[in-house]
Structure 1
Amino acid sequence: MVSTKCTRSVKKILLRLFAILILIQFIQPVRNHGAQVVLNDISNVIAVPDNIRGILKKACYDCHSEETVYPWYANIQPLNWFLNNHIQKGKSELNFSEFRMYSTRKQQNKLSAIENSFNDNSMPLSSYTIVHRRSVLSSEEKALLRNWIQSSKDSLIRKNF
């Protein structure tokens, strides 16, 4: 008798949880899509060669721009909420789509921070690279980024003198 009551209670709880899971699928955050390169994009401030843009897109842009490419699991709640929160935090730290809005000093600091983050392997995040294996930077890509960052910082200095 106790066993039957317990089984019914568990079934009711599971049914309610399933209903909640279904209902939350209708609560979707706004997607982070900018279909075009915006006026404030980094490429409108400093030269970004195609090979560098490719590296940035594969390793950085999903969380640090208005150009997120969402994986299939972004259609499932609460995973999408987690992703959206992660993207918002990433863009608050650095947003390549708003790079022009930063002061020159901040632009230089952000470029240095980018270099530091891939040098110490804090970016891209390991939780991101587990799922997005293509975002892992090779030593050649890091060298290309280092050179580009240095020349970009130098060009920012020249622009202001």
Structure 2
Amino acid sequence: MSKFEKAALTAVVLLLAVQFIQPEKNQGDYQLKSFLAETQPSNTVKTMLFNACFDCHSNNTQYPWYFQITPLNFRIAHHIEEGKEHLNFSEWSSYNKDQKDHALEEIIEVMEKKEMPLKTYVWLHNEGKLTDAQSQMIIDWAKEAKSK
């Protein structure tokens, strides 16, 4: 067996072995009642938030089949962890007024700059892709919610 064949075989064995190492899943309760009651998004905006935001910004992620593949699953888990650090809709009731206003302001800003949803997310989640009109609807809703 050549050095190349040994290296290739070692790489395959390692790749298969690491498949048994999985990150913890983000599968708690949505707990979105407080957020939805307070911000009152229309059904259309609520659907857009579910499709484009809540997987990374709530305590419950709907995982795609490819989450089972290591190391891809660790990258996804990291994105979710980062997303929840910035904004977690499931924790809305624990935010004070200033934090809620700041969160809504951040939503407006990232939507205006087209930074969210992440391009890597919408590549594989077509339902999360937002048109300019849909983004504007979220911006308008966030501005209205912030003024309450």
**What is the TM-score of this pair, normalised by structure 1?**
0.83
Alignment-derived partner of residue 88 in structure 2? 95
RMSD: 1.8
Structure 1 gap segments, 5+ residues each: 1-6, 156-161
Map 1:135-154; keep pairs closer than 5 Å.
135-154=128-147
Aligned partners of 1:37 and 1:87: how far apart in 2?
A: 14
Q: Give the equivalent residue in structure 1 for 2:9.
A: 15
Choose the corresponding residue for 1:126, options 105, 119, 124: 119
SS at 1:62 equivalent: coil
Structure 2 gaps, min length 5: none
Alignment of 1:1-161 (within 5 A): 8-34=2-28, 36-38=29-31, 41-155=34-148
Could you tell me how far 1:41 is from its partner in structure 2? 4.9
- Structure 1 residues 132, 24: CA separation in 2 closer, same or farther (over 3 Å shift)? same
1:40/1:100 contact within 8 Å kept: no
In structure 2, C-alpha distance between the alignment counterparts of 1:106 and 1:49, rounded to whole Å: 22
Mapped partners of 1:107, 1:146: distance in 2? 15
Residue identity matched to 1:61:
F
| AA partner of residue 10 (structure 1) | F
User: Cα deviation per residue 1:57-109 (whole Å; 9 max; x = unaligned)?
Assistant: 11111111112111111111011011001110111111111112111111111
Gap change, CA 1:98 and 1:79, over 3 Å in 2 = same
| 1:44 to partner: Cα distance | 4.6
Counterpart code for 1:139: D
For residues 101-135 of structure 1, give each alpha carbon's deviation from its aligned partner in whole angstroms, at most 9, with x where no partner exists. 11111111110110111111111112222222221
Identity %: 32
Q: Larger C-alpha radius of gyration, 1 or 2?
A: 1
Q: TM-score, normalised by structure 2?
A: 0.90
Give secondary structure in 2 for the equivalent of 1:121: coil
Per the TM alignment, residue 147 of structure 1 is displaced from its structure 2 partner at its CA by: 2.5
CA distance in 2, matches of 1:33, 1:135: 19
CA spacing shift, 1:69–1:39, aligned 2, 3 Å: closer
